[in-house]
Amino acid sequence: MIEYKNPRFMQALLRQPVDRAPIWVMRQAGRYMPEYRAIRTKVPDFLTLCKTPELACEVTMLPIDRFGFDAAILFSDILMIPDAMQLGLKFVQNEGPTFARVITSKRDVEQLPTLDPEEDTPYIANSVQLIKKALDQKIPLIGFAGSPWTVATYMVEGKTSKQHNKIRGMVYSSPDIAHQLLSHLTTETIKYLQAQISAGVDCVMVFDTWGGVLEDNLYQEFSLQYMQQIVAALDIPVILFTKNGGRCLLQQAQTGCVGLGLDWTADLKQAKETVGDMVALQGNLDPAVLYADPTTIASKARQILDVYAGETGFIFNLGHGITPDISPEHVQVLVETVQNYV
């Protein structure tokens, strides 16, 4: 394994001794940073930013240089796989992603292409290589993909959805079509993550933003099962994150992953008791705490740090992505609180 100047993220993930808890935050390179918004105006749309390795690298490095986070995460999106499948993905300003073609039938699933990461998403490996060079072995780089279930929700709904009625309807009315779609996405996601691994990422995280909309047994059948296949296929530490997934932590820990992300609705102390020394935990400050004053931010962060005080196996993070209207000064308070915690 590569020796990092700052190794505490990988140490905590592998439950080796650490000097303090590492910190990074989901969506750390995003719209809350004025430096990001400035780079974003140079390109016509968000997808172009993701597909231009020099810019993706520059954006990835912004929060590292400004805040000194303990890990970097590849700047990209979970929808690059369906984008490469030519489904007409567009990011409409303030509306999120929309697809021109949606998946509704068995025929739609059967017509989905098989991708070759070198041909279809070459910018991913190119970005990883540039970022690794820019990081200069200072801190590790996290690669990522969406969970097959979460990516499928966008392909079936055609856009961001709160109810997910179309895909949840499919689970009950045509479970075979749902499984066929999820199997295909699993195969593609494994190849996509393997390309990131070959290019140099140190671990990968699977984002299951919408697994928590399913009842527990259906979550296991339609989301967790496929994440487990991804974990089994990869020869690298994997972090699984299911938003609203706190009810199935033991099952998640049993997949063979090394870390679990927790949103803020999970009680960290209880979660720690549930998983024991099976996996490291990552989370779980409510991102909305960052709207509060510095004293409140520091005190809420310390409450979380107290759970693992003096122990390894914990990575400080938010329970979900940072929102665009957060002040960077408040992020600075959070980072310093974690850095100075004793």
Task: Cite the active site residues.
Answer: 27, 31, 40, 77, 154
Site string for ligand 1CP, 114-153 (x = CB under 6 A): ------------------------------x---------
User: 3-class DSSP state for residue 242?
Assistant: strand
Compute the least distance from the CB of residue 226 to ligand 1CP, in Å.
Answer: 16
Contact between 260 and ligand 1CP (CB under 6 A)?
no
**Measuring CA to CA, which residue among 186, 169, 170, 166 is closest to residue 178?**
170
Of 112 and 318, nearer to ligand 1CP (C-beta) is 318
Of 7 and 287, nearer to ligand 1CP (C-beta) is 287
Instruction: Locate 25 and state its tokens.
Output: 């935050």
Site string for ligand 1CP, 274-313 (x = CB under 6 A): ----------------------------------------
Q: 138 Cβ partners below 8 Å, 6+ apart?
A: 4, 5, 6, 64
User: Which residues from 312-331 bind ligand 1CP, rule CB under 6 A?
Assistant: 321
**Rg of the chain, C-alpha, whole Å:** 19
Angle among Cα 240, 190, 199 to the nearest 5 degrees reads 95
User: Which residues from 206-235 bind ligand 1CP, rule CB under 6 A?
Assistant: 207, 209
Cα 171 to Cα 156: distance, rounded to the nearest angstrom:
11
Tell me, what DSSP letter sits at residue 211? G
Query: Which one of 4, 9, 69, 75 is in contact with ligand 1CP (CB under 6 A)?
Result: 75
Contact between 78 and ligand 1CP (CB under 6 A)?
yes
Cα 169 to Cα 174: distance, rounded to the nearest angstrom:
8
Contact between 48 and ligand 1CP (CB under 6 A)?
no
| CB atoms closer than 10 angstroms to residue 257 | 26
Question: What residues line the site for ligand 1CP (CB under 6 A)?
Answer: 26-31, 40, 46, 73, 75, 77-79, 91, 96-97, 144, 160, 207, 209, 321
